[in-house]
Amino acid sequence: MNKFIILIAFACLGVSCGTTSNDSNPIYKDANQPVEKRVGDLVSRMTLEEKILQINQYTLGRNFNENNVEDEVVALPSEIGSVIYFNNDSKRRNELQKKAMEKSRLGIPVIFGFDVIHGFRTVYQISLGQACSWNTDLVKRACAVAAKEARVSGVDWTFSPMVDVARDGRWGRVSEGYGEDVYTNSAFSVAAVQGYQGDDNTLTDENHIAACLKHYVGYGASEGGRDYAYTEISNQTLWDTYLPPFEAGVKAGAATLMTSFNDISGTPSTANHYVLAEILREKWKHDGFVVSDWSAIEQLVTQGMAADRKDAGKLAFNAGVDMDMTDKVYSKYMAELVEEGKVKEVDIDESVRRILRIKFRLGLFENPYTPEKPENERLLLPEYVKVAEKIAAESFVLLKNENNTLPLTGSKKIALVGPMADNKEHLLGNWYAHGRAQDVTSIYEGFVNEFGKDAVNIVRGCDFEGDDKSGFAKAISAAKNSDVVVVCLGEKRKWSGENCSRSTIVLPEIQEKFLAELKKAGKPIVLILSSGRPLELCNMEPLADAIMEIWQPGVGGANPLAQMVAGKINPSGKLSITFPYSSGQIPIYYNMRSRARRAQGKYQNIPTEPLYEFAHGLSYTTYEYGELKLSAEKVAREGKLSAEITVKNVGDMDGLETVHWFISDPSSSITRPVKELKYFDKQLIKAGKSKTFRFDIDLDRDFSFVDSTGEKLLENGDFYVMVKDQKVKVVLE
């Protein structure tokens, strides 16, 4: 049968080449058609060249990411799949989108991504601090604020949440995740996805954006805390530590994932078929798409896996990376790879389907443009700043409070000293997106707002680093002429985040010396720390009567901090990551496996216990924990089990208290951590009142563990349910 007849045959059948009886209104442009039908119709119409451009992401706007410098891309093809969008309004976006919708053959909209990590313009607390709030609803609200600001400013897709379990504070990116614990990262992964995408993942409205779980997977295990480094991760550890927060986010409907830079025991994530295809696609059935991290594909050459860029493109694509972030490997080599049979076009079709599916779900075909509104109608709105203040207040952790130094009651003359006292920029933290230092209330401004200008004598006294002590004397004089010294120390914002590895988590010596000199003034010392990581405080701790970790709270931290110091807000934050006694203990985290000899194997020269453990955090009030009670001493595998504990606030100040519920499985076919967090619950307990906290245990979810293939195992035997220092046994039979 000759070609002509074949064409007629297809035409009659109206099949396969995407034509329909009415081509002026093709299926993919019909919003009443189901997404899958529109996707299929559109892919069938695309040329290979158009498909290849969809699996590429370039940049648009002045790239201000100091770790990923590149020449600004000026000539953008109208068929490009995506850009990282660096502008903070939708004008330039709409110009490119108009080109895509009107100049390209099929009018496929571009998807605009950006790093909206902890706020777009209203920058709020860093994720490590957010987790210390133990308030998933609040984190969801904060992400929803970020989503609104981003979407209305031309961004459809955020490269967030980062849900890398991280236990090494030397790694700068510990600031971007939700701490050391698996369950914590999983819980906040879900909260963030829901905040960005909406509870039912309705991505089409102007209040939501597509989320991106990153960095998939195991990046937090970077050797020595050195960024971009090798990670030695067994499949057992992959499954029981690093994968769960991603699985939780995928189940919550996360639209996309981003591959991580690290080499997973010889197979870098970006070329790792096991995690990208076998787990993410085949096991978890994820139907969104995967984008590589910046240049992660061509970095396969540096990592010793790919022979050259083209080989890297083949390896990454065939492993399961759908979209190439900025290194232009796919746009340059994919056609050749198909020609040479090294990549199948049907696989490219599948990647294009995944990308188009998210674009349809975002409603970009119907609403490709973003209304252009003035800044004051869309950014830094008062209600947004209120959310930033609330999450800041609930994330501050009172680490120490000797003799009830805090709160400061009665009129006090305050010496407010230290380099963080009037700094704005560093409170923004890393990945501050379009945040601006001028938007930030400084600690000094917060204290003046709360205590009045006359009560607050500010003297910086020293810098964050260096050896200039010339300002010490003036600070010490201010301290001597005060009732209390509030010392504001910590990290510059560029000391944590990407490419910010530090060999030690101690603050620079000048800050320790400054505190030691201030101590000699003989006044109570309140130490306020702002940092993007846990800190080594063994030298500072003895010098301070009270210590408060505020992390990097963004625009709205200072007022709630001052109100907290004044006793108007009761601290409720608890650590999401262990504070080691010193850097030499790293890695140290609560849910380690037991040493073979618990009384031995300790350090000879320093304590073996951390300075402040996971979930540590003080309040101005006192909570008395009643007896931990289980609903049964024995339970069958299909049975039900619940645990309860009553907590009484015996102080005279209302407070928010979080109860952390742990499980221990002391003997199992694969050793388990000494205890594992399985639930947390935060409740307001009024002064003098009690609240009962309840944990409805799901045996399969909470008592099981995974093996190295990801299979769940639930083994009979003894288990313990634990709250604080109580542990109650239950036998599973």
Interface residues with ligand GLC (CB under 6 A)?
65, 67-68, 115, 159, 214, 293-294, 498
- Examine the residue annotation and report whether 665 is marked as an active-site residue of this protein: no
Q: Which of 240, 293, 439, 665 is catalytic?
A: 293
SS3 713: strand
Structure tokens at 657: 């208290």
Q: Shortest gap between Cβ of 432 and ligand GLC (angstroms)?
A: 13
Distance between CA atoms of residues 616 and 369, nearest Å: 47
Q: Contact at 8 Å (CB) between 471 and 513? A: no
Q: Shortest gap between Cβ of 436 and ligand GLC (angstroms)?
A: 19
Distance between CA atoms of residues 703 and 121, nearest Å: 42
Q: Contact at 8 Å (CB) between 352 and 329? A: no
Q: Shortest gap between Cβ of 293 and ligand GLC (angstroms)?
A: 5
- Count Cβ neighbours within 10 Å for each residue of 244-278 and write b for 16 or more, e otherwise: bbbbbbbebbbbbbbbbbbbbbebbbbbbeebbee
Distance between CA atoms of residues 558 and 440, nearest Å: 8
SS3 711: coil
Q: How many residues does the chain have?
A: 733
Q: Shortest gap between Cβ of 73 and ligand GLC (angstroms)?
A: 14
Distance between CA atoms of residues 11 and 89, nearest Å: 45
Q: Contact at 8 Å (CB) between 647 and 690? A: yes
* C-alpha closest to that of 574 among 548, 536, 544, 541: 548
- Per the rule left: phi > 0, alpha: psi between -120 and 50, beta: everything else, 166 is beta
- Our CB check for ligand GLC shows the closer of 68 and 267 to be 68
Q: Contact at 8 Å (CB) between 611 and 581? A: yes
Q: Cα 523 from chain centroid? A: 39
Q: ∠ CA 151-153-156 to the nearest 5 degrees?
A: 35
Return the bridge partners of 114, or none: 158
Q: For 463, which DSSP code?
A: -
> Residue 110: how many CB atoms within 10 A of its CB?
28
Q: ∠ CA 114-136-354 to the nearest 5 degrees?
A: 40
Q: Cα 202 from chain centroid? A: 22
β-pairing, 655-664 with 705-706?
Answer: unpaired
User: Which residue do the tokens 């994820």 mark?
Assistant: 286
Q: Shortest gap between Cβ of 294 and ligand GLC (angstroms)?
A: 4
Q: Which residue is nearest to ligand GLC (CB)?
A: 159
Q: Shortest gap between Cβ of 214 and ligand GLC (angstroms)?
A: 6
- Our CB check for ligand GLC shows the closer of 170 and 214 to be 214
* C-alpha closest to that of 611 among 397, 400, 403: 400
Return the bridge partners of 579, or none: 612
HSE, CB side, 13 Å, CA atoms: give it for residue 334.
29
Q: Shortest gap between Cβ of 67 and ligand GLC (angstroms)?
A: 6
The answer for residues whose C-beta is within 8 angstroms of residue 382's C-beta and 6 or more apart is: none
DSSP 334-356: HHHHHHTTSS-HHHHHHHHHHHH
Q: Shortest gap between Cβ of 726 and ligand GLC (angstroms)?
A: 40
- Our CB check for ligand GLC shows the closer of 67 and 202 to be 67
- Our CB check for ligand GLC shows the closer of 41 and 293 to be 293
HSE, CB side, 13 Å, CA atoms: give it for residue 592.
18
- Our CB check for ligand GLC shows the closer of 62 and 593 to be 62
The answer for residues whose C-beta is within 8 angstroms of residue 662's C-beta and 6 or more apart is: 675, 676, 677, 678, 721, 722, 723
Q: Shortest gap between Cβ of 272 and ligand GLC (angstroms)?
A: 17
Structure tokens at 178: 């939700």
* C-alpha closest to that of 221 among 240, 202, 198: 240
Q: For 707, which DSSP code?
A: -
> Residue 112: how many CB atoms within 10 A of its CB?
29
Distance between CA atoms of residues 421 and 414, nearest Å: 12
- Per the rule left: phi > 0, alpha: psi between -120 and 50, beta: everything else, 277 is alpha
Q: Shortest gap between Cβ of 206 and ligand GLC (angstroms)?
A: 23
Q: ∠ CA 576-687-187 to the nearest 5 degrees?
A: 25
Q: Shortest gap between Cβ of 189 and ligand GLC (angstroms)?
A: 15
Q: Shortest gap between Cβ of 164 and ligand GLC (angstroms)?
A: 10
SS3 642: strand
- Our CB check for ligand GLC shows the closer of 68 and 235 to be 68
The three-state DSSP-derived secondary structure of 594-616 is CCCCCCCCCCCCCCCCCCECCCC
Q: What residues are labeled active site? A: 293
